[in-house]
Amino acid sequence: MLVVGCTVVASGVSIVARPSHKAVEVGRSFGCETTRPKSFGDWREMPVKDAQVVNPETQRLLDGLYSQMLARTYVNLQGCIMLSLAYGDDQRGGLTAHRPEACYPAQGLTLNTEYDSEG
């Protein structure tokens, strides 16, 4: 009975403690574009013209889930890396995360998950 009682109390506390306002509504703004560097170490941003999601239906889904999205490609003498960030201003648990392993190949990209730090 003690365990059941503690479970019921914990459930009630979690409902009461759940945030009711979005962070952006109370003045805590967050900017993906301005808070990420254009360069670091010997990596430099490679300008990409009009990067787009290929599938318009996927774009509508992303626009509904996230308030900000940022995609950058950085290059150095060894190659390039892609940074992709998605931020939703509603942090109350309603966002549905998707995995790059499914999302990127669906858009026609190939993932290389093997990284050799020696070059």
pTM above 0.75, yes or no: no
- The 10 Å Cβ neighbour count of residue 74 is 19
Predicted local confidence at residue 77, as pLDDT: 92
Instruction: Measure the CA–CA gap between 39 and 75, rounded to whole angstroms.
Output: 9
**What distance in Å separates the CA atoms of residue 20 and residue 112, rounded to the nearest whole number?**
40
Confidence bin at 58 (pLDDT 50/70/90): confident
Decide if pLDDT at 53 tops 80. no
Is it the case that residue 8 has pLDDT exceeding 80? yes
Residue 14 clears pLDDT 60, i.e. is over it: yes
Q: In this predicted structure, what is the pLDDT of residue 21?
A: 64
